[in-house]
Amino acid sequence: MAKIISPSLLSADFLRLGDECQMLNRSAAEWFHLDVMDGVFVPNISFGMPVIGAVRKMTNKVLDAHLMIVEPERYITNFAKLGVDFLTVHCEATVHLHRTLQAIKAEGMRAGVALNPSTSLWAIEEVLPEADMVLLMSVNPGFGGQKFIETTIDKVKRLRRMIDERGLQTLIQIDGGVNTHNAKMLFEAGCDVLVAGNAVFGSDDPVKTIEELLK
């Protein structure tokens, strides 16, 4: 199992985005998490292609884009051209999920599928072999800095079993309310990738916080 931290740039200081990227480049974080919101799928609007293109110029690390937009299949080619590595779509936002995951991989990216806290794991059972990663939301999507929903821990354990029983290599990512208090327990429950926004960028020493999340 992998053990990766993907800091969410949603909580970064956008006026100092270049410095924030350089700080992450120096850190133990292997991925950059990029939250794209359209104001329709979620009640918030974040950033899109120009910002992701700028971040791509600042790092060689893995760009992990989390699309909180309706009909994400419309923009798969755009994100591929920007150099995104993992493209994650919500199963609630695309009607033909199987086709969408295949289209992401056809563009040379790794395909992720995200589930809202209220969505059952059975929603993705049939497409599990097509997914390189499953993102479990541990808050309702749309905002950083929310409280971790505790029932997600059991969901992680059940997803771990589903993946292992099928002999798959699918990564499990958890997103929302992750901090230095719950990180260890989340890795132990079976997560491969922890997204952390507020815990990293809201701390006095983000580089040290990333190391603590990994401990």
Ligand X SMILES: O=C(CO)[C@@H](O)[C@H](O)COP(=O)(O)O
Contact positions vs ligand X (CB under 6 A): 8, 10-11, 33, 35, 66, 68, 139, 141-146, 175-178, 195-199
Q: Is there a catalytic annotation at residue 175? A: yes
Do 35 and 58 meet the contact criterion of CB atoms below 8 Å apart? no
Q: Which is nearer to Fe ion, 130 or 175 (CB)?
A: 175
Q: By beta-carbon distance, which residue lies closest to ligand X?
A: 197
Which C-beta is closer to ligand X: that of 99 or that of 205? Answer: 205
The answer to whether the annotation marks 48 as part of a ligand binding site is no
Residue 149, CA distances (Å) to 85, 155, 176 in order: 28, 11, 8
For residue 110, state whether it binds Fe ion (rule: CB under 5 A).
no
CA terminus-to-terminus distance, the chain? 15
Residue 112 three-state SS: strand
Residue type, 157: K
Residue where the block lists tokens 């994400």:
72
Place of tokens 């009607």: 95
Catalytic residue among 38, 64, 175, 192: 175
Which window, 54-62, 116-124, 125-133, 175-183, contacts Fe ion (CB under 5 A)? 175-183
Instruction: Identify any residues that bridge with 66 across adjacent strands, giving them in sequence order.
Output: 35, 88
Binding site for a divalent metal cation, residues?
33, 35, 66, 175
Q: Which residues bind Fe ion (CB under 5 A)?
A: 35, 66, 175
Active site residues: 35, 175
